[in-house]
Structure 1
Amino acid sequence: MRRRLIVPVVMAAMCGTALVGTASSASAAVKAVDCRKVKCVALTFDDGPVADTKRLLKTLSDRNVRATFYLVGQNVARNPSVAKAIANGGNQIGNHSWDHADLTKLSAAKISSQFSRTDTAIRNATGLRPSTVRAPYGANNAAVRKAAARPLVHWSIDTLDWKYRDTARLIRTVTTQTRPGDIVLMHDIHKTTVSAVPGIITGLKSRGFHIVTVDQLFAPAKLPAGKVTYDNRKAYKP
């Protein structure tokens, strides 16, 4: 099980289009919200898909919530049906490299391969191409940003769920620390995290939050390719 690297100082709604071409659209059944006017948060899950991702997808579906999944290519190849279920549920899919390598330690050619192999695996499983990338450990440099050729979406709340396998702690962390425009980092490879999601959803909704995908969080703006984004806190104007 990989640990998260502690980097220095720690790291649309549907517009009437079908789920074709890019892995960024949310379900048409989800009501569009303007995150400049209401409190929004994007829940993101890294390192899957794994078998327990199906339990998470049921929770999201039952509560009419959509999330963003940053998928590892080799896990997509192992679990293509789960990747397809993520997309079919209206969730956003992002590229999280082929095998969770620290991309800053690889050559430019190997970085490109990490992204392209993952794109292919996701396309084979879902028919979609991820519209955003998340670098493993948040580790990036000019070569990584160039190879991504898409926005890099990192996070503003690191829950440390990989370190503290504590469902109650995770619920408390996300519920109390979230601010409008935040991007929350979690991992569906941990059963304690999947078990925390019902409580997280309840806690966030009790605070008036709308839980959205990354693309929805920034709509109608488009994130720039080759740039790293951590949150959209400035957008909310109550």
Structure 2
Amino acid sequence: MHRRLVTSAVTAALCGTTLAGTATSASAAPQAVDCRKVKCVALTFDDGPVADTQRLLRVLNDRKVRSTFYVVGQNVQKKPSIVRDAALAGHQIGNHSWDHADLTKLSAAKVKSQLSRTDTAVKQATGKKPTTFRAPYGAHNATVRSAAGRPLVHWSVDTLDWKYRDPARIIKTVNQTTKPGDIILLHDIHRTTVDAVPGIIKALKARGFHFVTVDQLFAPAKLPSGKVTYHNRAAYRP
């Protein structure tokens, strides 16, 4: 990363504003939520960042919702400021490989390269490496799990937003299927998905859900490295 970008990012953080003005340091820290006592859900967004991710960040920030972004390394390299904005706003950043390859078809060395290149791009943008990983297409095997060297976080609610580009359908699917402890799969690369997010938030808030990052969903427990997690059904005990 160029020195000017690093300096701008640090200055933005200290001044309480991001480069694109979508969040402040005062709003960055997620509110303390104990998912063992209240209904929690984790919104996760795959495959970005893209230009429309900035609009999504504004939607989330306006509603004080924190989420987790599983980013593709080559997209981070193209749009590092968006990932920086997301991290400064309190969203969790996860690794989603370098170029969204089917990792089950690669050697262990190539899988590690996919993750390490993405780690580097995210660290250059945010100052931190991702601590969780989501395999592209949800495709994993023993080689992928071992090479990842961290928890694999998948999902329990599949919105199929890549197939059905219909905001109303996406909202209905989420509202009808979401249970406490769920991890919802969405893709910020689709405009219709971003269009659906306000409705998703409204519907789930009306049902008493709290929106948390993946790490918050499982806190105080730590996810095991090399294992695949789909949800945290044990979180909420009414």
TM-score relative to the length of structure 1? 0.88
- Alignment partner, residue 128 of structure 1: 128
TM-aligned CA deviation for residue 229 of structure 1: 0.3
Q: Please give the alpha-carbon distance, in whole angstroms, between the structure 2 residues aligned to 1:203 and 1:185.
A: 16
TM-aligned CA deviation for residue 31 of structure 1: 2.2
The runs of at least 4 aligned residues of structure 1 exceeding 3 Å deviation read 27-30
- Alignment partner, residue 49 of structure 1: 49
Structure 1 spans left out of the alignment, 5+ residues: 1-26
Q: Residue type of the partner of 2:161?
A: D
Query: What is the percentage of aligned positions where both structures have the same residue?
Result: 75
Q: Please give the alpha-carbon distance, in whole angstroms, between the structure 2 residues aligned to 1:135 and 1:34.
A: 28
TM-aligned CA deviation for residue 234 of structure 1: 2.0
Q: Residue type of the partner of 2:144?
A: V
Q: Please give the alpha-carbon distance, in whole angstroms, between the structure 2 residues aligned to 1:95 and 1:28.
A: 20
- Alignment partner, residue 233 of structure 1: 233
Q: Please give the alpha-carbon distance, in whole angstroms, between the structure 1 residues aligned to 2:121 and 2:30.
A: 27
- Alignment partner, residue 153 of structure 2: 153
- Alignment partner, residue 82 of structure 1: 82
Per-residue deviation, residues 150-184 of structure 1 (Å, max 9, x unmatched): 00000001100000000000011111210000000
Structure 1 residue 35 corresponds to structure 2 residue 25? no
SS at 1:233 equivalent: coil
Q: Residue type of the partner of 2:101?
A: A
SS at 2:59 equivalent: helix
| Residues 28, 89 of structure 2: 8 Å contact kept | no
Q: Please give the alpha-carbon distance, in whole angstroms, between the structure 2 residues aligned to 1:182 and 1:202.
A: 17
Per-residue deviation, residues 5-36 of structure 1 (Å, max 9, x unmatched): xxxxxxxxxxxxxxxxxxxxxx6643211111
SS at 1:140 equivalent: coil
- Alignment partner, residue 72 of structure 1: 72
Per-residue deviation, residues 91-110 of structure 1 (Å, max 9, x unmatched): 00000000000000001111
- Alignment partner, residue 11 of structure 1: none
C-alpha RMSD of the superposition: 0.9
Per-residue deviation, residues 68-92 of structure 1 (Å, max 9, x unmatched): 0000000000101111111111000
Q: Please give the alpha-carbon distance, in whole angstroms, between the structure 2 residues aligned to 1:112 and 1:44.
A: 23
